[in-house]
Amino acid sequence: MDKRICHECGTENEKEYLYCKNCGADLSKLEDTYSEANSGYTASDFGGNYADEKNKVDDFIADNIDGIPMEQIGLYVGKKSDYYCRKFSKMELTQSKISWHWPAAVLGLALGPFGSAIWCFYRKMYKVAFVLVAIGVLLAGITSAVTYDSATAAIEGIINASKSTSVEQMLEAIENIASNGGVSATVAEYINDFAGTVTAIVMGMFANWFYRCSCVDRIRKYQQSGLDQRYYKLGLSAVGGTSGGMLAVGILIKITVENLLSGAVLLIYLLNR
């Protein structure tokens, strides 16, 4: 069905219009129903159980997600829209929040909360991304505190070696940076491994759900932004999609946090000397 018929005045409107171009009536309340005429199927073809069978024909592509037409979800998602629309549809039909997502899980396992945050930045899921960044900063602070003694010992070794003319002593001090750690380094490693595992499990299970909620929320806000209906689809694609720039921001945040914490350890050591 290519047109939306206004329930107030009967005027035909483009499918993407949210308000009638003649009388201004709200068209968003109208359901985007599946057209039997265009599909080639009728309710009688499925023994009267048309709604269930229609989903089988569409391979689990639902009409809408929380009232947002699937076409608009696809426009917002952009890259890999077919993959995500199928994931969202299956969650909608099964009423489940769990749907495994490998990229978010792998990044979380490899880089902890910062890794999954990078994927969220790429998909413009800023709320979830900054929550993960905050968790990552907290964990990085904890591990820095745990390894403070071993880190300052390594720094002191470098400083003492730099005062010496012995090349061997300098090389030995540098080698000790990797080996010096003991129990504190082991504890920090366990903390990072545990954080990575938990992040991988949680984001692997719920990343698609978080993205689904983000899509619906941002589309609704876009609909209320006083948009020009003539450019609705173009604007929706621009608001959604992916962002290579924000992907770079996520990577930069991770590097910056790690460098700042290393610098803070050095500064505290120098102030306490």
* 22 within 8 A of 7, measured Cβ to Cβ: no
The percent of residues in the chain predicted with pLDDT above 70, rounded, is: 70
pLDDT in tens, 142-184: 888 887 776 676 666 666 666 665 666 666 655 665 555 556 7
8 Å CB contact between 153 and 180:
yes
Q: What are phi and psi of 62, to 5 degrees?
A: -75, 160
- Residues 113, 195 contacting (CB under 8 angstroms): yes
How many Cα atoms occupy the beta-carbon half-sphere of 153 within 13 Å? Answer: 14
How many angstroms separate the CA atoms of 210 and 129, rounded? 10
pTM (2 decimals)? 0.70
pLDDT score for 251: 93
Distance CA 173, CA 193 (A): 27
Residue 207 is given by DSSP the state H
Work out the pLDDT band at 129, boundaries 50, 70, 90.
very high
Domain ranges of the chain: 1-30, 99-271
